[in-house]
Amino acid sequence: MIAGPKILSPEQAAERLIADLARPARLLVAISGGSDSCGLLVALSKSNLPGSGLSLFATTIDHGLRPGSADEARAVAALCGRLGIPHFIRRWEGEKPRTGISAAAREARYRLLLEVADEVDATAIVTGHTLDDQAETIAMRAARGEGDANSGLAGMARAVLLDRRRWLLRPFLETRRSDVRDFLTREGQGWIDDPSNLDPHYERVRVRGRLAQEDRFDAAAQAMAAERRTALSDAAARLVREHVTIRQGVLAHLAPAGLQGDEAVRRHALSLLAAVLGGREHALGSDSMDRIMAFLGGGQPGRITAGRVIFDRRRDGLYLVRENRGILPLHVPPGDTAIWDGRYRITNSASADIIVGPTAPDRDEALALFPDVPPAIAMRAVAAMPFIESNALLSTEDRENKGVAERSIVQPLLAPFDRFLPQFELTLGIQFAVLLGCDVFPRLPVKDSSRKR
Protein backbone atom coordinates (compact mmCIF):
# COMPACT_ATOMS: atom_id res chain seq x y z
CA MET A 1 0.00 0.00 0.00
CA ILE A 2 0.98 3.66 -0.30
CA ALA A 3 1.02 5.73 2.87
CA GLY A 4 1.07 9.49 2.93
CA PRO A 5 -0.36 12.43 0.94
CA LYS A 6 -3.44 12.14 -1.23
CA ILE A 7 -3.03 10.19 -4.45
CA LEU A 8 -4.10 12.10 -7.54
CA SER A 9 -5.98 10.59 -10.45
CA PRO A 10 -4.58 11.32 -13.93
CA GLU A 11 -7.34 13.88 -14.48
CA GLN A 12 -6.63 15.60 -11.14
CA ALA A 13 -2.90 15.71 -11.81
CA ALA A 14 -3.44 17.24 -15.25
CA GLU A 15 -5.89 19.80 -13.88
CA ARG A 16 -3.49 20.78 -11.08
CA LEU A 17 -0.65 21.29 -13.55
CA ILE A 18 -2.79 23.49 -15.79
CA ALA A 19 -4.07 25.47 -12.80
CA ASP A 20 -0.51 26.03 -11.50
CA LEU A 21 0.92 27.11 -14.86
CA ALA A 22 1.68 30.71 -15.63
CA ARG A 23 -0.09 31.31 -18.94
CA PRO A 24 0.03 31.61 -21.85
CA ALA A 25 2.09 28.44 -21.91
CA ARG A 26 3.32 25.91 -24.44
CA LEU A 27 3.85 22.37 -23.12
CA LEU A 28 5.89 19.76 -24.95
CA VAL A 29 4.77 16.28 -23.84
CA ALA A 30 7.46 13.60 -24.07
CA ILE A 31 5.54 10.50 -25.19
CA SER A 32 7.05 7.09 -25.82
CA GLY A 33 3.80 5.23 -26.37
CA GLY A 34 3.90 3.59 -22.93
CA SER A 35 0.96 3.85 -20.57
CA ASP A 36 2.39 6.64 -18.40
CA SER A 37 3.17 9.10 -21.19
CA CYS A 38 0.03 8.23 -23.17
CA GLY A 39 -2.04 8.77 -20.03
CA LEU A 40 -0.39 12.16 -19.50
CA LEU A 41 -1.07 13.30 -23.05
CA VAL A 42 -4.69 12.16 -23.03
CA ALA A 43 -5.35 13.66 -19.57
CA LEU A 44 -3.84 17.01 -20.57
CA SER A 45 -5.80 17.08 -23.82
CA LYS A 46 -9.07 16.46 -21.93
CA SER A 47 -8.29 19.10 -19.28
CA ASN A 48 -7.15 21.76 -21.74
CA LEU A 49 -10.31 23.80 -22.22
CA PRO A 50 -10.69 26.25 -25.13
CA GLY A 51 -9.37 29.69 -24.26
CA SER A 52 -7.17 28.38 -21.43
CA GLY A 53 -4.02 29.90 -22.94
CA LEU A 54 -2.34 26.50 -23.12
CA SER A 55 -0.88 24.99 -26.30
CA LEU A 56 0.08 21.30 -26.40
CA PHE A 57 2.81 19.69 -28.48
CA ALA A 58 4.22 16.17 -28.32
CA THR A 59 7.45 14.48 -29.31
CA THR A 60 8.64 10.89 -29.47
CA ILE A 61 12.31 10.02 -29.22
CA ASP A 62 13.09 6.90 -31.25
CA HIS A 63 16.27 5.45 -29.75
CA GLY A 64 16.55 2.89 -32.53
CA LEU A 65 17.60 0.21 -30.05
CA ARG A 66 15.09 -2.49 -31.00
CA PRO A 67 13.07 -3.61 -34.02
CA GLY A 68 9.74 -1.91 -34.37
CA SER A 69 10.70 1.34 -32.62
CA ALA A 70 10.02 3.38 -35.76
CA ASP A 71 6.57 1.78 -36.13
CA GLU A 72 5.83 2.59 -32.48
CA ALA A 73 6.78 6.24 -33.05
CA ARG A 74 4.39 6.38 -36.01
CA ALA A 75 1.63 4.85 -33.88
CA VAL A 76 2.14 7.63 -31.35
CA ALA A 77 1.99 10.17 -34.18
CA ALA A 78 -1.40 8.72 -35.18
CA LEU A 79 -2.68 9.12 -31.59
CA CYS A 80 -1.55 12.74 -31.55
CA GLY A 81 -3.25 13.29 -34.89
CA ARG A 82 -6.56 12.01 -33.47
CA LEU A 83 -6.17 14.36 -30.51
CA GLY A 84 -5.23 17.31 -32.73
CA ILE A 85 -1.82 17.75 -31.09
CA PRO A 86 1.24 18.60 -33.25
CA HIS A 87 3.75 15.74 -32.98
CA PHE A 88 7.47 15.46 -33.73
CA ILE A 89 9.64 12.35 -34.09
CA ARG A 90 13.36 12.53 -33.41
CA ARG A 91 15.69 9.55 -33.83
CA TRP A 92 18.91 8.91 -31.96
CA GLU A 93 21.29 8.52 -34.86
CA GLY A 94 24.86 7.26 -34.96
CA GLU A 95 26.73 4.37 -33.41
CA LYS A 96 25.51 3.26 -29.99
CA PRO A 97 27.94 2.49 -27.15
CA ARG A 98 28.47 -1.13 -26.14
CA THR A 99 28.43 -0.29 -22.44
CA GLY A 100 26.47 2.26 -20.46
CA ILE A 101 23.69 2.20 -23.02
CA SER A 102 20.99 3.34 -20.56
CA ALA A 103 22.92 6.45 -19.53
CA ALA A 104 23.83 7.25 -23.13
CA ALA A 105 20.21 6.83 -24.24
CA ARG A 106 19.05 9.13 -21.45
CA GLU A 107 21.54 11.82 -22.49
CA ALA A 108 20.47 11.51 -26.13
CA ARG A 109 16.80 11.68 -25.11
CA TYR A 110 17.24 14.91 -23.16
CA ARG A 111 19.35 16.45 -25.92
CA LEU A 112 16.71 15.69 -28.56
CA LEU A 113 13.86 16.79 -26.30
CA LEU A 114 15.61 20.12 -25.79
CA GLU A 115 16.07 20.54 -29.54
CA VAL A 116 12.34 20.12 -30.13
CA ALA A 117 11.51 22.34 -27.14
CA ASP A 118 13.65 25.07 -28.68
CA GLU A 119 11.91 24.64 -32.04
CA VAL A 120 8.43 25.12 -30.57
CA ASP A 121 9.61 27.57 -27.87
CA ALA A 122 8.12 25.36 -25.16
CA THR A 123 7.46 26.84 -21.75
CA ALA A 124 8.26 23.41 -20.34
CA ILE A 125 8.74 19.76 -21.22
CA VAL A 126 6.43 17.39 -19.35
CA THR A 127 7.04 13.68 -18.71
CA GLY A 128 4.86 10.87 -17.40
CA HIS A 129 6.99 9.76 -14.42
CA THR A 130 4.58 8.27 -11.88
CA LEU A 131 4.51 7.55 -8.17
CA ASP A 132 5.70 4.03 -9.05
CA ASP A 133 8.80 5.52 -10.73
CA GLN A 134 9.34 7.67 -7.65
CA ALA A 135 9.20 4.62 -5.37
CA GLU A 136 11.71 2.78 -7.55
CA THR A 137 14.08 5.75 -7.65
CA ILE A 138 14.05 6.17 -3.88
CA ALA A 139 14.55 2.44 -3.31
CA MET A 140 17.63 2.45 -5.55
CA ARG A 141 19.07 5.55 -3.87
CA ALA A 142 18.33 4.22 -0.38
CA ALA A 143 20.37 1.12 -1.20
CA ARG A 144 23.39 3.40 -1.73
CA GLY A 145 23.08 5.22 1.59
CA GLU A 146 20.55 5.11 4.40
CA GLY A 147 19.47 7.86 6.77
CA ASP A 148 18.28 11.46 6.68
CA ALA A 149 21.64 12.65 5.31
CA ASN A 150 20.94 10.83 2.04
CA SER A 151 19.47 13.60 -0.11
CA GLY A 152 18.44 10.98 -2.67
CA LEU A 153 15.59 9.96 -0.37
CA ALA A 154 13.80 13.10 -1.54
CA GLY A 155 13.33 11.30 -4.84
CA MET A 156 12.78 12.98 -8.17
CA ALA A 157 11.95 16.68 -8.13
CA ARG A 158 8.64 17.79 -9.62
CA ALA A 159 10.60 20.28 -11.74
CA VAL A 160 14.13 20.17 -13.19
CA LEU A 161 15.89 22.83 -15.25
CA LEU A 162 17.70 21.27 -18.24
CA ASP A 163 20.82 22.89 -19.69
CA ARG A 164 19.94 26.12 -17.85
CA ARG A 165 17.30 26.86 -20.49
CA ARG A 166 14.17 24.65 -20.38
CA TRP A 167 12.12 23.35 -17.44
CA LEU A 168 11.03 19.72 -17.28
CA LEU A 169 7.89 19.04 -15.20
CA ARG A 170 6.64 15.74 -13.74
CA PRO A 171 2.94 16.19 -12.93
CA PHE A 172 2.25 12.46 -12.35
CA LEU A 173 4.58 11.95 -9.37
CA GLU A 174 1.54 11.57 -7.09
CA THR A 175 -0.34 9.33 -9.52
CA ARG A 176 -0.17 5.54 -9.60
CA ARG A 177 0.55 3.66 -12.81
CA SER A 178 -2.42 1.39 -12.20
CA ASP A 179 -4.69 4.44 -12.10
CA VAL A 180 -3.18 5.73 -15.34
CA ARG A 181 -3.91 2.41 -17.06
CA ASP A 182 -7.45 2.31 -15.69
CA PHE A 183 -7.96 5.83 -17.05
CA LEU A 184 -6.68 4.85 -20.50
CA THR A 185 -8.92 1.78 -20.53
CA ARG A 186 -11.96 3.93 -19.73
CA GLU A 187 -10.94 6.24 -22.59
CA GLY A 188 -10.62 3.30 -24.98
CA GLN A 189 -6.95 4.04 -25.50
CA GLY A 190 -4.24 1.37 -25.60
CA TRP A 191 -0.53 1.67 -25.03
CA ILE A 192 2.75 0.01 -25.95
CA ASP A 193 4.60 -2.23 -23.48
CA ASP A 194 8.37 -1.88 -23.75
CA PRO A 195 9.94 -5.37 -23.36
CA SER A 196 12.98 -3.83 -21.65
CA ASN A 197 10.70 -3.11 -18.67
CA LEU A 198 10.74 -6.87 -18.00
CA ASP A 199 14.50 -7.39 -18.42
CA PRO A 200 16.07 -8.19 -14.99
CA HIS A 201 19.44 -7.06 -16.38
CA TYR A 202 18.36 -3.53 -15.38
CA GLU A 203 18.44 -2.48 -11.73
CA ARG A 204 15.15 -0.62 -11.98
CA VAL A 205 13.35 -3.74 -13.23
CA ARG A 206 14.69 -5.79 -10.31
CA VAL A 207 13.64 -3.09 -7.84
CA ARG A 208 10.21 -2.88 -9.48
CA GLY A 209 9.69 -6.59 -8.97
CA ARG A 210 10.68 -6.38 -5.32
CA LEU A 211 8.42 -3.40 -4.66
CA ALA A 212 5.50 -5.21 -6.32
CA GLN A 213 5.90 -8.03 -3.81
CA GLU A 214 6.22 -5.66 -0.83
CA ASP A 215 3.33 -3.48 -2.11
CA ARG A 216 4.31 -0.59 0.16
CA PHE A 217 5.67 2.90 -0.37
CA ASP A 218 5.78 5.60 2.29
CA ALA A 219 4.90 8.72 0.34
CA ALA A 220 4.77 10.74 3.57
CA ALA A 221 8.43 9.93 4.26
CA GLN A 222 9.34 10.96 0.73
CA ALA A 223 7.46 14.25 1.11
CA MET A 224 9.27 14.96 4.38
CA ALA A 225 12.63 14.15 2.79
CA ALA A 226 11.85 16.54 -0.07
CA GLU A 227 10.95 19.29 2.40
CA ARG A 228 14.18 18.67 4.37
CA ARG A 229 16.28 18.82 1.22
CA THR A 230 14.62 22.04 0.06
CA ALA A 231 14.97 23.67 3.50
CA LEU A 232 18.63 22.63 3.75
CA SER A 233 19.42 23.99 0.31
CA ASP A 234 17.60 27.27 1.00
CA ALA A 235 19.54 27.69 4.24
CA ALA A 236 22.79 27.00 2.36
CA ALA A 237 21.79 29.68 -0.16
CA ARG A 238 21.38 32.18 2.69
CA LEU A 239 24.81 31.27 4.04
CA VAL A 240 26.37 31.75 0.61
CA ARG A 241 24.55 35.05 0.02
CA GLU A 242 25.58 36.48 3.41
CA HIS A 243 29.11 35.14 3.83
CA VAL A 244 30.64 34.02 0.50
CA THR A 245 32.36 36.10 -2.16
CA ILE A 246 33.84 34.79 -5.42
CA ARG A 247 36.56 36.75 -7.22
CA GLN A 248 37.32 36.42 -10.92
CA GLY A 249 35.15 33.31 -10.98
CA VAL A 250 37.87 31.14 -9.40
CA LEU A 251 38.55 32.21 -5.80
CA ALA A 252 35.86 31.85 -3.12
CA HIS A 253 36.10 33.25 0.37
CA LEU A 254 33.92 32.22 3.30
CA ALA A 255 33.97 34.84 6.05
CA PRO A 256 34.65 33.74 9.66
CA ALA A 257 30.99 34.20 10.59
CA GLY A 258 30.10 31.67 7.90
CA LEU A 259 32.19 29.05 9.69
CA GLN A 260 29.77 29.16 12.60
CA GLY A 261 26.18 27.98 12.89
CA ASP A 262 24.47 24.84 11.60
CA GLU A 263 27.05 22.29 10.48
CA ALA A 264 24.69 20.51 8.07
CA VAL A 265 23.99 23.77 6.24
CA ARG A 266 27.70 24.62 6.03
CA ARG A 267 28.48 21.12 4.83
CA HIS A 268 25.86 21.30 2.07
CA ALA A 269 27.00 24.72 0.89
CA LEU A 270 30.68 23.77 0.83
CA SER A 271 30.08 20.45 -0.93
CA LEU A 272 28.40 22.21 -3.86
CA LEU A 273 30.65 25.29 -3.83
CA ALA A 274 33.63 22.95 -4.18
CA ALA A 275 31.93 21.18 -7.08
CA VAL A 276 31.39 24.53 -8.83
CA LEU A 277 35.00 25.66 -8.33
CA GLY A 278 36.40 22.23 -9.16
CA GLY A 279 34.31 21.75 -12.30
CA ARG A 280 32.71 18.57 -10.95
CA GLU A 281 29.19 17.45 -11.86
CA HIS A 282 28.47 16.06 -8.40
CA ALA A 283 28.79 17.49 -4.91
CA LEU A 284 31.69 16.19 -2.86
CA GLY A 285 31.04 12.73 -1.43
CA SER A 286 30.43 11.99 2.23
CA ASP A 287 33.98 10.73 2.88
CA SER A 288 35.53 13.90 1.47
CA MET A 289 33.12 16.11 3.36
CA ASP A 290 33.81 14.20 6.60
CA ARG A 291 37.51 15.06 6.20
CA ILE A 292 36.79 18.70 5.40
CA MET A 293 34.38 19.19 8.30
CA ALA A 294 36.84 17.55 10.71
CA PHE A 295 39.56 19.87 9.41
CA LEU A 296 37.39 22.95 9.86
CA GLY A 297 36.21 21.75 13.24
CA GLY A 298 39.79 21.82 14.47
CA GLY A 299 39.78 25.59 14.13
CA GLN A 300 43.45 25.77 13.15
CA PRO A 301 44.98 27.38 10.04
CA GLY A 302 46.03 24.93 7.36
CA ARG A 303 45.14 23.40 3.99
CA ILE A 304 43.31 20.35 2.77
CA THR A 305 42.48 19.27 -0.78
CA ALA A 306 39.32 17.48 -1.93
CA GLY A 307 37.47 17.29 -5.23
CA ARG A 308 40.26 19.18 -7.06
CA VAL A 309 39.80 22.14 -4.68
CA ILE A 310 42.17 23.50 -2.03
CA PHE A 311 40.48 24.53 1.23
CA ASP A 312 42.83 27.04 2.89
CA ARG A 313 41.89 28.12 6.43
CA ARG A 314 43.27 31.52 7.47
CA ARG A 315 42.53 33.95 10.29
CA ASP A 316 40.28 35.94 7.97
CA GLY A 317 38.21 32.93 6.93
CA LEU A 318 38.28 30.04 4.47
CA TYR A 319 39.56 30.32 0.90
CA LEU A 320 38.62 27.80 -1.80
CA VAL A 321 40.31 27.57 -5.20
CA ARG A 322 40.86 24.96 -7.92
CA GLU A 323 44.14 23.16 -7.33
CA ASN A 324 46.70 23.71 -10.09
CA ARG A 325 47.28 20.04 -10.86
CA GLY A 326 45.47 18.39 -13.75
CA ILE A 327 44.39 21.56 -15.56
CA LEU A 328 44.91 20.45 -19.15
CA PRO A 329 45.05 22.57 -22.32
CA LEU A 330 42.09 22.37 -24.71
CA HIS A 331 42.17 22.82 -28.48
CA VAL A 332 39.08 24.58 -29.93
CA PRO A 333 38.73 24.83 -33.74
CA PRO A 334 37.12 27.89 -35.34
CA GLY A 335 33.37 28.07 -34.80
CA ASP A 336 33.36 25.31 -32.18
CA THR A 337 32.26 25.40 -28.54
CA ALA A 338 33.91 23.22 -25.90
CA ILE A 339 34.08 22.81 -22.14
CA TRP A 340 37.41 23.59 -20.50
CA ASP A 341 38.25 21.97 -17.15
CA GLY A 342 34.55 21.51 -16.39
CA ARG A 343 34.43 25.20 -15.39
CA TYR A 344 34.09 27.25 -18.57
CA ARG A 345 32.28 27.02 -21.88
CA ILE A 346 34.60 28.38 -24.59
CA THR A 347 33.25 29.49 -27.98
CA ASN A 348 35.87 30.21 -30.64
CA SER A 349 34.44 33.00 -32.78
CA ALA A 350 37.75 33.64 -34.55
CA SER A 351 38.94 32.19 -37.85
CA ALA A 352 41.98 30.50 -36.29
CA ASP A 353 42.31 27.63 -33.84
CA ILE A 354 42.73 28.51 -30.19
CA ILE A 355 44.24 26.72 -27.22
CA VAL A 356 42.78 27.27 -23.76
CA GLY A 357 44.97 26.56 -20.79
CA PRO A 358 45.72 27.81 -17.28
CA THR A 359 47.10 31.31 -16.87
CA ALA A 360 50.84 31.39 -16.29
CA PRO A 361 51.30 32.52 -12.67
CA ASP A 362 52.76 36.03 -12.40
CA ARG A 363 53.08 37.54 -8.92
CA ASP A 364 52.40 41.15 -9.91
CA GLU A 365 49.38 40.18 -11.98
CA ALA A 366 48.09 37.92 -9.21
CA LEU A 367 48.32 40.64 -6.58
CA ALA A 368 46.62 43.12 -8.91
CA LEU A 369 43.75 40.75 -9.69
CA PHE A 370 43.35 39.58 -6.10
CA PRO A 371 44.18 42.52 -3.81
CA ASP A 372 44.04 41.99 -0.05
CA VAL A 373 44.46 38.25 -0.55
CA PRO A 374 47.48 36.35 0.81
CA PRO A 375 50.05 36.20 -2.04
CA ALA A 376 50.25 32.39 -2.09
CA ILE A 377 46.48 32.13 -2.50
CA ALA A 378 46.46 34.87 -5.15
CA MET A 379 49.08 32.94 -7.12
CA ARG A 380 47.00 29.76 -6.98
CA ALA A 381 43.90 31.66 -8.06
CA VAL A 382 45.47 33.32 -11.09
CA ALA A 383 46.87 29.96 -12.20
CA ALA A 384 43.32 28.55 -12.25
CA MET A 385 42.05 31.22 -14.65
CA PRO A 386 41.62 30.44 -18.37
CA PHE A 387 44.21 31.80 -20.79
CA ILE A 388 43.54 31.77 -24.54
CA GLU A 389 46.17 31.80 -27.23
CA SER A 390 46.22 31.11 -30.95
CA ASN A 391 48.27 28.34 -32.50
CA ALA A 392 48.21 30.05 -35.90
CA LEU A 393 49.13 33.42 -37.41
CA LEU A 394 46.32 35.94 -37.04
CA SER A 395 44.20 36.55 -40.11
CA THR A 396 43.45 40.08 -41.30
CA GLU A 397 39.93 39.68 -39.88
CA ASP A 398 41.26 38.68 -36.46
CA ARG A 399 43.75 41.56 -36.38
CA GLU A 400 40.98 44.00 -37.20
CA ASN A 401 38.88 42.51 -34.40
CA LYS A 402 41.62 42.72 -31.76
CA GLY A 403 42.80 39.15 -32.08
CA VAL A 404 41.69 35.65 -31.26
CA ALA A 405 41.36 35.87 -27.49
CA GLU A 406 39.13 38.95 -27.65
CA ARG A 407 36.86 37.21 -30.18
CA SER A 408 36.37 34.13 -28.00
CA ILE A 409 33.39 33.86 -25.69
CA VAL A 410 34.18 32.57 -22.20
CA GLN A 411 31.18 31.61 -20.06
CA PRO A 412 31.44 30.28 -16.50
CA LEU A 413 29.69 26.99 -15.77
CA LEU A 414 27.92 25.62 -12.73
CA ALA A 415 29.10 22.05 -13.21
CA PRO A 416 26.76 20.40 -10.65
CA PHE A 417 23.74 22.32 -11.99
CA ASP A 418 24.56 23.06 -15.61
CA ARG A 419 22.89 19.94 -17.04
CA PHE A 420 20.26 19.28 -14.37
CA LEU A 421 19.12 21.74 -11.70
CA PRO A 422 16.41 20.12 -9.53
CA GLN A 423 13.78 22.34 -7.97
CA PHE A 424 15.13 21.41 -4.52
CA GLU A 425 18.36 23.31 -5.24
CA LEU A 426 16.94 26.22 -7.25
CA THR A 427 17.59 29.01 -4.73
CA LEU A 428 21.15 27.83 -4.14
CA GLY A 429 21.79 27.45 -7.85
CA ILE A 430 20.58 31.01 -8.46
CA GLN A 431 22.91 32.29 -5.74
CA PHE A 432 25.94 30.59 -7.30
CA ALA A 433 24.93 31.95 -10.71
CA VAL A 434 24.86 35.48 -9.31
CA LEU A 435 28.29 35.13 -7.73
CA LEU A 436 29.85 33.75 -10.93
CA GLY A 437 28.05 36.10 -13.30
CA CYS A 438 26.18 33.35 -15.16
CA ASP A 439 23.11 33.92 -17.30
CA VAL A 440 19.83 34.31 -15.42
CA PHE A 441 17.82 31.08 -15.13
CA PRO A 442 14.37 31.01 -16.74
CA ARG A 443 11.63 31.37 -14.14
CA LEU A 444 9.90 28.27 -12.82
CA PRO A 445 6.67 28.17 -14.89
CA VAL A 446 4.50 26.72 -12.10
CA LYS A 447 3.67 27.70 -8.54
CA ASP A 448 6.49 26.60 -6.24
CA SER A 449 4.63 24.80 -3.47
CA SER A 450 7.83 23.13 -2.22
CA ARG A 451 8.84 26.31 -0.38
CA LYS A 452 6.50 27.17 2.44
CA ARG A 453 6.31 30.83 3.40
Based on the fold, state whether residues 12 and 128 are members of the same structural domain.
Answer: yes
Q: What is the pLDDT of residue 151?
A: 76
DSSP state letter for 305: E
What pLDDT does 407 receive? 61
Same-domain pairing of 28 and 104:
yes
Q: pLDDT tens digits, residue range 260-281?
A: 999 999 999 999 999 999 999 9
Which pLDDT value is given to residue 149?
54
Mean pLDDT in consecutive groups of 10 residues from the start of the chain, 453 residues: 73 96 96 96 94 95 87 95 97 87 91 97 97 90 62 90 96 96 97 70 63 71 92 98 98 97 96 98 95 96 97 97 96 95 94 91 94 96 93 46 61 95 97 93 86 52
Q: In the listed set 195, 224, 253, which residue is the last one of a domain according to the structure?
A: 224
**Are residue 77 and residue 188 in the same domain, yes or no?**
yes
Other Cβ atoms within 10 Å of 316 Cβ, number: 12
Mark whether 305 and 346 lie in a shared domain. no
- Sequence letter at residue 419: R
Residue 442 belongs to some domain of the structure: no
From residue 338, how far is each of 183, 332, 344 by CA, in Å?
46, 7, 8
Q: For residue 45, which amino acid is it?
A: S
Q: Are residues 320 and 372 in the same domain?
A: no
User: Does residue 233 fall inside a structural domain?
Assistant: no
- Look at the chain and count its residues: 453
Indicate whether 440 belongs to any domain.
no
Residue 323: DSSP 8-state: -
Assigned domain for 80 exists: yes
pLDDT at position 117, please? Answer: 98
Instruction: Please tell me the number of Cα atoms within 13 Å of 135 on its side-chain side.
Output: 26
Query: In this structure, are residues 176 and 7 in contact, taking their beta carbons and an 8 Å threshold?
Result: yes
Residues sharing a CB contact under 8 Å with residue 355, sequence separation 6 or more, in sequence order:
329, 330, 331, 332, 388, 389, 390, 391
Contact between 32 and 76 under an 8 Å Cβ cutoff? The reply is yes
What CATH number corresponds to the domain at position 144? 3.40.50.620
What local confidence, expressed as pLDDT, does residue 208 receive? Answer: 64
Last residue of a domain, one of 224, 255, 276: 224
The answer to whether residue 439 is domain-embedded is: no
Q: Judge whether 230 lies within some domain.
A: no
Task: State whether 313 and 343 are in the same domain.
Answer: no
Determine the residue type at 111. Answer: R
pLDDT at site 96: 83
Q: Which amino acid is at 428?
A: L
Whether residue 268 sits in one domain with residue 169 = no
Say whether both 248 and 337 belong to one domain. Answer: no
Is residue 447 assigned to a domain? no
Identify whether residues 320 and 347 lie together within a single domain: no
Considering the domain architecture, whether residues 24 and 126 belong to the same structural domain is answered as yes
DSSP state of 446: B
> Which domain covers residue 278, as residue numbers?
242-324+421-433
User: Does residue 73 form part of some domain?
Assistant: yes
pLDDT at 350: 85
Structural domains in the chain (count) = 3
Buried b (16+ CB within 10 A) or exposed e, 320-356: bbbbeeebeebebebeeeebbbbbbebbbbbbbbbeb
Could you tell me the pTM of the whole model? 0.89
158 shares its domain with 14: yes
Q: Are residues 215 and 261 in the same domain?
A: no
